Amino acid sequence: MEPTVIGAYGFVVALVLMFLRVPIAFVLVSVASVCSLITYAWRPGRDFDFERGIRPALSLIETNAFDFIHSYSLSMIPLFIAAGHIAYHTRITTDIYAAVRVWLARMPGGLAIASLFGCGGFSAITGSSLACASSMGRICVPEMLRFGYGKQLATSTVAMGGTLGSLIPPSVLFILYGMFTEQSVNKLFMAGVLPGVLTMVGFILVVVIWSLWKPSDAPIPDELRYTLRDKFKAGLKGWPALALMTIIIGGIYGGIFTATEAAAISLAFVIGFGVISRRLKWADFLSSLKETAYQTASLFFIAIGAKIFVSFVSLTGVTGAFVAFVAGLGLETWMVLFFIVLLYVGLGMFLDSIGTMLLTLPFVIPVVEGMGMDLIWFGVVVVKLLEIGLVTPPLGMNVFVINSVVTKEIKVHTIFFGVMRFLVADFVVLGLIVAFPIISLLIPNAMS
């Protein structure tokens, strides 16, 4: 059988299994392994020979898994995850929300905007959108509902705020993208800063307009009155989070250390702060390590599967055939980008963000690179699209996470209706990033 045919069948099977909710790691490893065996064992014009295929197939699996796990850059993933969990237990992440809540108490939609800042700060430290939605959903949504905020505004604000973790560094998606496309993770982190800020500004505008258009959804409570001294005290509580962001963003931008070193220093900082402030209990520390081990193992299993899948796709030559097919269509650059946006938005409705990215990169990157597009900029576009997929119906992961942590009286469709208003801002920001690549490339190009 022709290798390209096997590759095409393998991609379709992987897509179908993922739509059926089979875990992405099992899909990538099993499809790539079986199809690699078939490719080696069933050469064109010859009969199927299992013994001829088993040895090179096992070698492909073993070599890719070993080489990937022994990557130095991969060590930043457990370091950032551990820093995020410990920061949560030491209340560094929730202090951001508490501080902004005091400062914006009398502003239209102030509690919702404080929730956005809290989610943005949480995401910047943990790098996980789902963890942010889960943790901040338990804190911010009940608080807004208690002060009379509308259910749509209260829930959709946190659902959208959780997506900021995809763009604001550190981001697990940027780390995986950088490793699979051989791009600098440092530059990818910096490329996400301005788009992340733009997204935050867009969300704040949505909240303000919503609050002015429908004041009953965002009442200004009379009891939320704070003195200048209260605001000063609240601001001081946010210094650990600002210090962490400075370590990650300032350190990498200034060329003081790499992303991996920033991860190690961040972890040391949160542990030191937790011990000195006596906020970090031994039980919380052990719980953080346990959660870190679990999440890291899950991500590594997915990444190993993706690495094997990429090698299988390369082996079959299906990528070259796909690139040749796209080139033969004679499409303009903007048309290719338009179809890529449709692809990611469509897949994002049904698949998780990591699965979508790792499944499509082997096919999309050669096309994009062949058309002369900057891969750092394109990485921001991809992550922005994956961010949108986290809240796009019918499978917006952040929406279902929020639904699972709030009162049962709030239905999923209520959250989705609120999210639709924020998606307008998301697509405007996406359009700006695509139309003006300098938004993503300004900081990376100015790095030391």
Tens of each residue's pLDDT in the chain, 448 residues: 677 888 888 888 888 888 787 888 888 888 888 888 888 888 777 777 777 778 888 888 888 888 777 777 788 888 888 888 888 888 887 787 778 878 877 788 888 888 888 887 776 666 667 777 777 777 888 888 888 888 899 889 988 887 887 788 888 888 889 988 889 888 998 999 999 999 999 999 999 999 999 988 888 776 667 777 877 887 787 788 888 888 888 888 788 888 888 889 989 999 999 999 888 899 999 998 998 888 888 888 888 888 888 888 888 887 777 778 777 777 788 888 888 888 888 887 777 788 788 888 888 888 888 888 899 999 999 999 988 888 887 777 778 878 887 767 788 888 888 899 999 999 999 999 999 999 999 999 887 5
pTM to 2 decimals?
0.85
Name every residue whose Cβ is closer than 8 Å to that of residue 122 and which is 6 or more positions away in sequence: 88, 93, 94, 96, 131, 132, 135, 136, 165
Residues 40 and 439: their CA atoms lie apart, in Å, by 46
Task: Tell me which DSSP letter residue 249 carries.
Answer: I
Query: Are the C-beta atoms of residues 207 and 225 closer than 8 Å to each other?
Result: no
Residues 155 and 362: their CA atoms lie apart, in Å, by 36
Task: Tell me which DSSP letter residue 330 carries.
Answer: T
Residues 201 and 18: their CA atoms lie apart, in Å, by 34
CA dihedral (51, 57, 63, 66) positive or negative:
negative
Residues 391 and 400: their CA atoms lie apart, in Å, by 9
pLDDT recorded at residue 199: 92
Torsion of CA 92, 93, 96, 99, to 10 degrees: -60
CA dihedral (42, 48, 51, 54) positive or negative:
positive
**Alpha carbon separation from 73 to 251, 298, 341, 387, 414 (Å, rounded):** 17, 17, 29, 23, 41
Residue 398 sits at the vertex; the CA angle it makes with 396 and 401, to the nearest 5 degrees, is 115
**Alpha carbon separation from 25 to 95, 221, 305, 332, 336 (Å, rounded):** 35, 48, 6, 35, 29
pLDDT recorded at residue 378: 94
Cite the DSSP H helix spans in 246-374: 251-253, 259-277, 282-316, 318-329, 333-348, 353-370
pLDDT recorded at residue 234: 76
**Alpha carbon separation from 299 to 152, 196, 263, 294 (Å, rounded):** 32, 23, 17, 9
pLDDT recorded at residue 18: 81
Peptide bond into 44 cis (omega under 30): no
Query: Are the C-beta atoms of residues 147 and 328 closer than 8 Å to each other?
Result: no
Peptide bond into 23 cis (omega under 30): no
**Alpha carbon separation from 128 to 96, 185, 210, 393, 420 (Å, rounded):** 17, 16, 27, 20, 22
pLDDT recorded at residue 143: 82
Cite the DSSP H helix spans in 42-171: 50-69, 76-89, 92-103, 110-126, 129-146, 151-162
Residues 102 and 114: their CA atoms lie apart, in Å, by 9
pLDDT recorded at residue 175: 87
Q: From the DSSP assignment, how many helices (H) and strands (E) are in the chain?
A: 23, 0
Residues 133 and 406: their CA atoms lie apart, in Å, by 11
Which among 263, 275, 195 has a CA at the least distance from the CA of 439?
Answer: 195
**In this structure, which long-range contacts are made by residues 94-100, counting pairs with CB atoms below 8 Å and at least 24 apart in sequence?**
94/118, 94/122, 94/135, 94/136, 94/139, 95/237, 95/238, 95/240, 95/241, 96/121, 96/122, 96/238, 96/241, 97/121, 97/136, 97/139, 97/140, 98/234, 98/237, 99/234, 99/235, 99/237, 99/238, 100/238
